[in-house]
Amino acid sequence: MSARPARWLLGGRHYSEVASLALAAPFLILAFVTFILPLGSLLHESLFLPTPTLAHYERALTEPVYLRVMLRTLRIAALVTILTLLLAWPLAWLMARSGGLKLAILVASVLLPLWTSVLVRTYAWMVLLQKNGVINQFLIGAGITGEPLRLLYTEGAVVLAMSHVLLPFMVLPIFSALRGIPDDYSRAAQMLGASEWATFREVIFPLSLPGVTSGCLMVFLLALGFFVTPALIGGPQQMMIATLVSQQVREMLDWSFAGALVGVLLAFVLLIAILFKRAVRLDRFVGSA
């Protein structure tokens, strides 16, 4: 008697499985062809070619030279995450407190670099850091140092340049978390006797944590697989895992070993993502009376 009325795509908020699938299909097909398939074939190659073997993984995880690359990758990604967090939080706070033209300028200064090619920004850092670069010329001109310093091809340079490139991915989620905190929270805290520092420590920073964790997750994971900037700024001495994979594919033509490296990186990324999710969920239950 009461036949459910047919509902077309713009009709409501809850779609049938068929409608949901229809909406997601173009993306799913694209993702399958350009991401799942090649990744699957690479991982397949690392495990089954020429015969089923774990030898490639064993090599990736035991040979010191490769372990060093992986540890360096982790260390750089962690340092970049910490540095961007330290730079991004105050900036995001300022943005959240601003409005009008001031906010527009701040947002533009965060977003404009994002719209500029990573390659261009990386070359800009090379111009700054190289032996006869802007920074060395200034240091020598000011009499601070006699010899040009070795700035390029150092881990510090890689961390600095990568932090610059990845900064927007930290600023934006923290900004949106802070923007969502009503003024009354800090007013209430002050009324209840909290100093400005205590208000920050007990109320504002904890409330920004969802933004902080998603920013950290994004920056850390992007940093783990970063290619252009470490390859150009770090050179062969500061090789990170993405560069190593590229080298295996292009120079050694060792697709199986490259696949094993990708497999290790992928497993690690998944592990971190899961741990982060746990941490965020746990965070709601932390705190004491």
Partner 1 sequence: MSQSAAVSGRSVGIDIEGLVKRFGTVKAVDGVSLAVEPGEFLALLGPSGSGKTTILMAIAGFEYPDEGRIRVGGEDVTWVPPSRRNLGMVFQKYTLFPHMSVLENIAFPLKMRGVNRAEREERARAALATVRLDGYGERKPSQLSGGQQQRVAIARAIVYKPRVLLMDEPLSALDKNLREEMQIETKHLQREIGVTVVFVTHDQTEALTMADRVAVLDQGRLQQIGSPHDLYEAPRTAFVAGFIGETNFCEGRARGAAAAGQRIGVTLDGGHAVEATAVEATVEGASVKIAIRPERLSVADPASGIAARVEEAIYAGNATTLLLTLPSGQPIRLRVPAGGAHASPTVGEMVGLSWRAEDARAFGDVA
The residue within the footprint of partner 1, chosen from 42, 106, 174, 189 (CB under 8 A), is 189
Q: Write down the least CB distance from residue 80 to partner 1, Å.
A: 27
The residue within the footprint of partner 1, chosen from 207, 266, 269, 280 (CB under 8 A), is 207
Work out whether 288 is an interface residue with partner 1 (CB under 8 A).
yes
Q: Write down the least CB distance from residue 212 to partner 1, Å.
A: 13
The residue within the footprint of partner 1, chosen from 53, 190, 246, 247 (CB under 8 A), is 190
The residue within the footprint of partner 1, chosen from 187, 273, 274, 277 (CB under 8 A), is 187
Work out whether 143 is an interface residue with partner 1 (CB under 8 A).
no
Closer to partner 1 by CB, 176 or 246: give it.
176
Work out whether 206 is an interface residue with partner 1 (CB under 8 A).
yes
Closer to partner 1 by CB, 140 or 280: give it.
280
Return the amino acid letter for 265: L
Work out whether 176 is an interface residue with partner 1 (CB under 8 A).
no
The residue within the footprint of partner 1, chosen from 34, 109, 116, 195 (CB under 8 A), is 195
Exposure string (b/e) for 104-114, b if CB count within 10 Å is 16 or more?
A: eebbeebeebe
Whole-angstrom distance, CA of residue 181 vs CA of residue 199: 13
The residue within the footprint of partner 1, chosen from 182, 250, 253, 282 (CB under 8 A), is 182
Work out whether 54 is an interface residue with partner 1 (CB under 8 A).
no
The residue within the footprint of partner 1, chosen from 194, 222, 266, 269 (CB under 8 A), is 194
By the 8 A CB rule, do 89 and 174 touch? yes
DSSP annotation of 146: S
Whole-angstrom distance, CA of residue 15 vs CA of residue 23: 10
Q: Write down the least CB distance from residue 173 to partner 1, Å.
A: 17
Whole-angstrom distance, CA of residue 143 vs CA of residue 130: 18
By the 8 A CB rule, do 204 and 185 touch? yes
Q: Which two tokens stand for residue 114?
A: 């994002």
Quick one: which of 71, 85, 100 has its CA closest to 163? 85
Long-range contacts of 199-208 (CB under 8 A, 24+ apart): 204/178, 206/287, 207/177, 207/178, 207/181, 208/89, 208/92, 208/174, 208/177, 208/178, 208/181
The residue within the footprint of partner 1, chosen from 17, 147, 184, 251 (CB under 8 A), is 184
Please classify residue 220 by burial: count the beta carbons closer than 10 Å to its beta carbon, then call 0-12 exposed, 13-18 middle and 19+ buried: buried
Work out whether 284 is an interface residue with partner 1 (CB under 8 A).
yes
The residue within the footprint of partner 1, chosen from 1, 193, 236, 282 (CB under 8 A), is 193
Per-residue contact string for residues 64-103; x = within reach of partner 1 by CB under 8 A: ----------------------------------------
Closer to partner 1 by CB, 61 or 209: give it.
209
Q: How far is CA 57 from CA 37, 44, 48, 69, 203, in A?
A: 21, 12, 12, 15, 46
Binding site for partner 1 (CB under 8 A): 182, 184-185, 187-195, 198, 202-203, 206-207, 209, 284, 287-289
